[in-house]
Amino acid sequence: MTHTAEQLQALITSCEQFRGAKAPAGYRDSLALCIVDSVQSTGVTYSSVERVVDRYRAYRRRGRSGDPNSDGVPELLATFEELGGPDGWASQIGNRNRTSTRNGVLKAEAIRDAAQTLAAEGIKTTAALRDAAGDEDRLARVGAAWRAVTGQISGITWHYAQMLAGIQGVKPDRMICRFVADSLRLPRKDVATEFAGVIVTAAATEMGMLPTDLDHAIWQWQRVRK
């Protein structure tokens, strides 16, 4: 589904209120935290994600002299080995949230599997992920492998992990899709994630904003609406 010029202008009109907005820095030096935050973030309030991130940081610092703010994939996977796998990781660091209420797995399992996927592709740090973003074919291959992880087929968490690592983009989750639908006066069920991601990116470009900044502003505005 492609957008029309009229749809793009309508979205820009709705986004005028967000000019000058800036997104948080993310985790430019910690691919571990990018993975944890992105996978944990779907379908929950963000405060629950923050608690998991805080527990990961505390675990890495407690008696291990680790620096969670610079952890890569090897350090993240090591925590799963230390805690006996996804179940133990969920109990001590994560939570019992699942990737889906139907046939889903623990998000802890998806975090581990996503990390293993990146490791298999030779991507162990945020710097390596940013380098991969410069190779369209390689990034597409890595993205396909990430989407093959249970519960990640939509690609939302893949987009978000990249954004947290400092790669510009849009996370077309339900908040973004709802904003696009309402701005264009479309039924919410008719706005697909791919369409939302493309048109918000186009709006950011037309407005002279970074896509990540516009995405964050929309998300923050949408989350407080009933």
55-95 per-position pLDDT tens digit: 999 999 987 778 999 999 999 999 999 999 999 999 999 99
Average confidence (pLDDT) over 192-221 = 96
* 12 and 43 assigned to the same domain: no
Same domain, residue pair 37 and 145: yes
What are the two backbone dihedrals, phi and then psi, of residue 98, each rounded to the nearest 5 degrees? -115, 160
Q: Which residue has the higher pLDDT, 226 or 61?
A: 61
Q: Does 89 lie in the same domain as 146?
A: yes
Tokens of 196: 């939302």
Instruction: State whether 194 and 160 are in the same domain.
Output: no
Mean per-residue pLDDT over the chain, rounded: 95
Let me know whether 37 and 10 are in one domain: no
Q: Are residues 77 and 153 in the same domain?
A: yes
Whether residues 207 and 95 share a domain: the answer is: no
pLDDT band of residue 1 (cuts 50, 70, 90) is low
The pLDDT tens digits for 89-125 are 999 999 999 999 888 899 999 999 999 999 999 999 9
Classify burial at 48, counting beta carbons within 10 Å of its beta carbon; exposed 0-12, middle 13-18, buried 19 or more: middle
Same domain, 194 and 215: yes
- pTM of the predicted model, to two decimals? 0.91
Query: Are residues 128 and 183 both part of a single domain?
Result: no
Q: Which of 147, 165, 183 is the last residue of a domain?
A: 165
Q: Compute, in degrees rounded to 10, the torsion defined by CA atoms 11, 12, 16, 21.
A: 90
Q: Which domain holds residue 193?
A: 5-24+170-224
Q: Which residue has the higher pLDDT, 2 or 122?
A: 122
Counted domains in the chain? 2
Q: Are residues 56 and 110 in the same domain?
A: yes
Residue 183 has pLDDT above 90, yes or no: yes
The pLDDT assigned to 135 comes to 94
- Please report the pLDDT score of residue 101 as a whole number: 84
- Among 165, 183, 202, the domain boundary falls at 165
How far apart (Å, rounded) are the C-alpha atoms in residues 39 and 99? 8
Q: Are residues 11 and 114 in the same domain?
A: no
- The answer to whether residues 95 and 137 belong to one domain is yes
Query: What CA–CA distance (Å, rounded) separates 62 from 73?
Result: 19
**Which residue among 165, 186, 203 closes a domain?**
165
pLDDT at 66: 84
Percentage of the chain modeled with pLDDT above 90: 91
Q: 226 pLDDT exceeds 60?
A: no
Contact call for residues 222 and 178 (beta carbons, < 8 A): yes
